[in-house]
Amino acid sequence: MATYEIPTEQWAQVIEETGSCVYKKIPVPVPGPDEVLIAVKFSGVCHTDLHAMNGDWPLARKLPLVGGHEGAGIVVARGSLVSDVALGDRAGIKWLNGSCLACSFCRQADEPLCAKASLSGYTVDGSFQQYAVAKAAHVARIPDGMGLDAVAPVLCAGITVYKGLKESGARPGQWVAIVGAGGGLGSMAIQYAKAMGLHVIAIDGGEEKRESCKELGAATYVDFTATDDLVAEVKAATPDDLGPHAVLVLAVQEKPFQQATQYVRSRGSVVCIGLPANAYLRAPVFDTVVRMISIKGSYVGNRQDTAEALDFFARGLVRVPFKTVGLSQLNEVYAMMKEGKIVGRYVVDTSK
């Protein structure tokens, strides 16, 4: 087994107070008995990291906090109880940093619902640092032969949309609308949906996102900033005008959650994944009942979803459109994200 020299200090992006983060040196963490230390090489920047920095959600987080939960790297140290992850293994830090593995949810592989779950870049320090700790049982096992920069966004965006598509119940040959299709989760969702044999209606704003969505395989693109009647346009995008069998709502606004229940096909499902601050679901009871519509939430994925989502990537079925900048430039990424200007994903390189 390889051995690694581990420094005592490292570069990190630290949220010291709500609304901003500072690039500074902090101590390298030490893994506990059931944990591993991962030398993070690249980390994707998820909109969740921006929500965490801004304190958008009714869920307590630690402060000071190192954000980030799409961290891909190499295992460089492990605790005394860890035997199935070796030094030198390629591994990923994901949103679910750890869970109890013993409660009724964990026992049934619903570990995201565990009351004792620890969350990377939220309740524990995440991957916007050069060395990060995670429970060995929960780290993603990254297969050989894939770039650690390219695979990083699979660790949250990929897992989440893959799980969401499974939760939607949509079957090969059916139609799915992806709302927020030009963003990080959306770009991945188009490709997972396509790989699963679904037709995709991509919904987002602007020409740059239109081009990207079409290139990634969407059958139709609906521009929410340019249409007079979004509901009619989405329904008209299906061959029988009855609307998509499923909708994945990834947008960071409240309105599209309401629109989705209007254009989804009768007996279809609306899967809520985006987490806009202070947002509520509103749908007419009458229509929901007589059209037999399912409205549900979907929250990241379990360890098996993780392995499957990575396997799609390894087989070349999904690729992530990404741009790389230094970890020191994280604030610039957040500024673009706030304005909805990012097509695909930004990945930060922890060496810069």
Q: What angle do CA 273, 278, 284 make, to 5 degrees?
A: 70
SS3 213: helix
- Judged by beta carbon, residue 23 or residue 57, the one nearer ligand 8ID is 57
Taking CB under 6 A as the criterion, the residue among 246, 251, 260, 320 binding ligand 8ID is 251
Q: How far is the CB of 8 from ligand 8ID (least distance, A)?
A: 33
- Count CA atoms within 13 Å of residue 140 on its CB side: 33
Of 197-236, binders to ligand 8ID (CB under 6 A) are 203-205, 224
- Judged by beta carbon, residue 103 or residue 232, the one nearer Zn ion is 103
Find which of Zn ion, ligand 8ID, none residue 273 binds, CB within 5 to 8 Å per kind.
ligand 8ID
Number of residues that bind ligand 8ID (CB under 6 A): 32
Q: Does 342 bind ligand 8ID (CB under 6 A)?
A: yes
Q: How far is the CB of 160 from Zn ion (least distance, A)?
A: 7
- Give me the DSSP letters along 268-288: -EEEE----TT------HHHH
Contact indicator for 295, 261 with CB cutoff of 8 Å: yes
Find which of ligand 8ID, Zn ion, none residue 337 binds, CB within 5 to 8 Å per kind.
ligand 8ID
Of 126-165, binders to ligand 8ID (CB under 6 A) are 156, 160
Residue 301 CA to residue 34 CA, distance in Å, equals 21
How many residues can be counted in the chain? 352
Residue 127 CA to residue 71 CA, distance in Å, equals 5
CB atoms near residue 316 (< 10 Å): 9
Q: Does 337 bind ligand 8ID (CB under 6 A)?
A: yes
The footprint of ligand 8ID (CB under 6 A) covers: 46-48, 51, 156, 160, 179-180, 182-186, 203-205, 224, 250-253, 255-256, 273-275, 298-300, 337, 340, 342
